[in-house]
Amino acid sequence: MDGKSVGTISSWEILHWKVYVDGAANQRGSGIGLFLISPEGIAIEKSLRLGFSVTNNEAEYEALLQGMMMVQKLGGKAKEAFSDSKLVVGQVMGELEARDTRMQEYLGRVKHLQSDFQSFNLTHVSRSGNTHADSLATLATSSAHDLPRIILVEDLC
């Protein structure tokens, strides 16, 4: 094969995003954490406080939906997502039935967004395998202030 053919073949390669999601709901409020890794290896972290009341399972779905929409906005066509929610992963992957009306609505929204991806997979990970997204979700619930925040993280040696 000549160089042109190889270049043409590789240009059709689908670049996968990795997205770790987690939701949290407690007495202080609810929030979600997203940890995205681009195909080029760039990490994007997002902590979102939800301005409405949700259960923990609903927060988990909100995190998944926000992660899907972020990848979509960034032009991603393939996504591998990771969540520590057995319920959400089971429902999305068709292993569990969504019986509750709210869960059926969330599942329908995920399925609708999923159709926009050329490749989509959601994998269950243990809580210890999802600590980064968990920390970001917990951060979102840690303050009731509606002030925009910038959090600097530095290494002190």
3-state secondary structure the chain: CCHHHHHHHHHCCCCEEEEEEEEEEECCEEEEEEEEECCCCCEEEEEEEECCCCCHHHHHHHHHHHHHHHHHHCCCCEEEEEECCHHHHHHHCCCCCCCCHHHHHHHHHHHHHHCCCCEEEEEECCHHHHHHHHHHHHHHHCCCCCCCCCCCCCCCC
Task: Let me know: does 47 contact 139? Beta carbons within 8 Å.
Answer: yes
The CATH number assigned to the domain holding 84 equals 3.30.420.10
pLDDT band, very low/low/confident/very high, at 34 (cuts 50, 70, 90) = very high
Residue 5 lies in a domain: no
Of 10, 16, 18, 25, which is closest to residue 141 (Cα–Cα)?
Answer: 25
pLDDT tens-digit readout, 48-102: 999 899 999 999 999 999 999 999 999 998 899 999 999 999 999 999 999 999 9
Whole-number average pLDDT of the chain: 88
Residue 156 lies in a domain: no
Domain carrying residue 31: 13-141
Residue 20 lies in a domain: yes
Q: pTM score, two decimals?
A: 0.85
pLDDT band, very low/low/confident/very high, at 13 (cuts 50, 70, 90) = low
Domain total of the chain: 1
Task: Let me know: does 50 contact 26? Beta carbons within 8 Å.
Answer: no
Contacts of 115 (CB under 8 A, 6+ apart): none
- pLDDT of 150 reads 72
Strand partners, 17: 79
- pLDDT of 147 reads 65
Dihedral sign of CA atoms 153, 19, 107, 131 in order: negative
